[in-house]
A and B are shown apart, each in its own frame.
Chain A
Amino acid sequence: MSDKVKSKLTRKFPGVSRRSVLKSAAVGATAIGAGPLMFNIAKAASETIRIGFPVPLTGPYGSEAQEQARCAQIAVDQFNAGGGLGGRMAELLVRDDKLKPGEAATRTLELIEKDKVHFVCGSLSASVQLSVNAVTKARGIIYVSISQSDAINEAKDFSKYTFHEAMNPHMTAGAVGRYAFPKFGKRVAFLIADYAYGHEMVRGFKQAGEAHGIEVVAEVTHPLASKDFSPFLPQIQAARPDVLCLCNFGYDQMNSLKQATGFGMKQQMQVLAPALLYNQRRAGGAGAYEGVIGGANYHWTLENSVASAKAFNDAYRKENEGAPPSDYGAYGYAGVGALLDGVKKAGTTDSDPVIAALEELKYDKYKGTQYYRKCDHQSVQSVFIIESKSKKDMANEYDVFDIVHTDEASEDVLRSCAELGHEA
């Protein structure tokens, strides 16, 4: 207990590391030393590459957001350690969007106008990312979103400046459904958090289920952030489904799962959670999650088969007392990492060349090769189907999931460009 508390106390919020400040100071000093004639050219060439990073540091997803910021900082440090862009160092400017679209828009605007950031990466909510995206696309700033959303791929919200590093609900729910429906049965019940993300997951499941002839026997919506799910569960039990899909997130997922376990529902049906989260599982305990199957962009045990996962884990472990990174943290690392790869490839921070470079980029930051699909800039990547382990099967406190299947990276699992309203 006390060790855990201590590690939480000492794990400070990652701002700009001392190393990166010293480095940019040194570069700046060199530029000044180069003399007045060289000054202007030197300044342009040595100006820090600034990346704005609005995430909900406070509020219900605070720990996840801080994890994202920690991981993004690792990507920045690695870029700088590799010499930056011909000596130009990168800097991460983390801001708190408080999980509110309005707050996020204000912070993003400040980052662009006042802090003069070259790029924006971040957000941890479907609706907040749309609000950030609206600001960045109006100002021609590249934005890499690192949380799940279907809407951001659609032509209505998309712009050439918009990139989506995270998976989307369609591909996540689809992958989980394709894996589970043939295995566990056709009678499917949904417990749905009543907001966009919840309904997007249901749609993903249903589309994947068509091929397997699923029959929807119950579809129960619950208000967002419900505390007690017991009133919603009897109708699901009464419908006698083979499979229950929990289309909710965060504490809703954890509480509904805990309570469904209490009702003995896991003995009667297989429980699926499209976005089965590492941190949530660790907070919820092995008992409630045992046997639950879900989708994830990452689980650290991927290091046993993927070299980039091992490298990412090791970099993270070095700074975090041997603890491995979380799935959503990895989005922060990959989002900023891919962006800086694009910058390096383009040789500039100007938006258009960087966009062209990102569109051509094949990158492997932590989970195997990924790339941004041309029409909607959705990152094409593998989806991992994971199963939550029982307490006795865990090798250590971090060993919470088994990767039972990998849905390889493919555009086939995304909605088609035409379906999203993109031309050609």
Chain B
Amino acid sequence: MIGGFPIELLALQLFTGLALGSVFVLLAVGLSLIFGLLTVVNFAHGAFYMLGAYAGVFFIGYLGNFWLTLAVVPFAVGAVGLGVERWLVRPLYGRGIDYPLMLTFGLAYILVEVVRILFGAEGMPFDAPDALMGAVNIGVGYFPAYRLFVIAATAVLVVALWLFLEKTSYGLVIRAGARDSEIVRVLGIDISLVWLVVFGLGTAVAGLAGVLSAPMRSVFPDMGTTVLVEAFVVTVVGGMGSLAGAVVAGLLVGVVVSMTSLFAPAMAEVSMFALMALVLLVRPQGLFGKKGLMG
């Protein structure tokens, strides 16, 4: 017994926190990617996440298969992302960080409203596939099979992104472009194509997060609003633009929220912001962030 709670409950609560944390990682990766490589603060991240969930509803009705849907949705949302970068964000590069911020802020409202008009305001049903229904005994208690799958999917996604960015020549070009776009351009590489791909990738990941979250968090037009906040907290705590930071911060935020929910449920929501404030006081650039990136 610790603090009046049995050890098994605390262990399960901790595990729940890590699982919740992996959802936070999933939510934050796309945002972190776009910010880290383009210095674009994508306020439409939550809207792309919501688009992912609705694309999931659409494709699962059309294809009838969850796994196929999971494969198709990132491409569909990524395609929207490509269009947004090409025609909306691109003209704003070099004008300061607040221009794309304002643009994506407005875009988020438009996307939500379009979905509301097309699909209605009350939301759509979306169930986990039959194979992942139900709970699995993980030793300290029962845990939803679907959440275990989401943890695995997030791990695969993060590793794949890391390999792509760090170990491939495309990744090398992308990282070089983020560090000094001028030189990359001089070397004869079409940097605007690189930025296009990165933005598309970031939105595709947001879409994937949306469809993966749909069976847990329901599908409705405003589902992205709170997600944006959660993703920002994780990104800021981890350090803007750091993939490793997003992973560590996501898990940390998950555990903090979960433990607070047990000991002081009224504080559950506030706890992640308290954590953020604390981190910012000690390390203003975030846990893994580089100093002066925003300057």
Contact = CB atoms under 8 A, between A and B. Distances in A.
A223 B266 contact: yes
B59 to A, nearest CB: 10
Interface in B72-104: none
Contacts of A194: 265-266
Contacts of B260: 231
A4 to B, nearest CB: 8
Contacts of B8: 238
A221 interface: yes
B118 A262 contact: no
Interface stretch (B193-201, B212-220, B282-290): B212-220
Interface in A179-214: 194
A233 B262 CA distance: 9
A262 B144 contact: yes
A217 to B, nearest CB: 13
Nearest to A233: B16
Residue among B23, B144, B145, B222 facing the most chain A CB atoms (10 A cut-off): B144
Greatest chain B CB density within 10 A among A225, A228, A234, A280 is at: A234
B215 A258 contact: yes
Contacts of B23: 228
A251 B217 CA distance: 9
B3 to A, nearest CB: 12
B122 A279 contact: yes
B17 A231 contact: yes
B70 to A, nearest CB: 17
Contacts of A283: 122-125, 218-220
Question: B-side binding surface: helix, strand, loop or mixed?
Answer: helix
Interface string B108-124: 00000000111111111
A251 B218 contact: yes
B133 interface: yes
Nearest to A281: B125
Contacts of B144: 259, 262-264
B227 A227 contact: yes
B216 A258 contact: yes
A1 B16 contact: no
A222 B268 contact: yes
Interface stretch (B36-44, B134-142, B157-165, B238-246): B134-142
A231 B146 contact: no
Interface size bracket, A side: 35 or more
A64 B218 CA distance: 17
Contact of B266 (A221, A262, A264): A221
Interface in A210-246: 220-223, 225-228, 230-235, 237-238
Nearest to B136: A264
A28 interface: no
Interface stretch (A98-106, A284-292, A312-320): A284-292
Contacts of A26: none
B258 A231 contact: yes
A173 B127 CA distance: 28
B1 to A, nearest CB: 12
B254 to A, nearest CB: 9
Question: Which of under 10, 10 to 19, 20 to 34, or 35 or more describes the interface residues of B?
Answer: 35 or more
A238 B135 contact: no
A223 B261 CA distance: 10
Contacts of A264: 134-135, 142, 144
A255 interface: yes
A392 interface: no
B142 to A, nearest CB: 5
B258 A262 contact: no
Contacts of A251: 123, 218, 220
Interface in A259-289: 259, 262-264, 267, 279-280, 282-288
Given A228-B23, A262-B144, A283-B124, A254 B268 contact: no
B20 A282 contact: no
A406 interface: no
Contacts of B118: 5, 8-9
A263 B217 contact: no
B58 interface: yes
Contact of A262 (B117, B120, B128): B128
Interface string A91-113: 00000000000000000000000
Given A222-B265, A231-B13, A238-B8, A258 B218 contact: yes
A410 interface: no
A339 to B, nearest CB: 27
B222 A60 contact: yes
B147 interface: yes
B146 A262 contact: yes
A235 B119 CA distance: 36
Nearest to B255: A231
Contacts of A284: 123, 125, 218
A78 interface: no
A227 B261 CA distance: 13
Given A64-B122, A227-B217, A232 B127 contact: no
Interface of A: 1, 5, 8-9, 60, 62-64, 194, 220-223, 225-228, 230-235, 237-238, 251, 254-255, 258-259, 262-264, 267, 279-280, 282-288
27 contacts: A5-B118, A8-B120, A60-B222, A63-B122, A194-B265, A194-B266, A221-B266, A222-B265, A222-B268, A223-B265, A223-B269, A225-B226, A226-B269, A227-B227, A227-B230, A231-B257, A231-B261, A232-B268, A255-B217, A258-B217, A264-B134, A282-B125, A283-B218, A284-B123, A284-B125, A287-B133, A288-B125
Given A222-B265, A264-B134, 7 more contacts: A5-B119, A230-B19, A232-B261, A234-B262, A259-B144, A263-B144, A284-B218
Closest 7 CB pairs of A and B: A264-B135, A285-B125, A262-B144, A231-B261, A283-B123, A63-B122, A231-B258
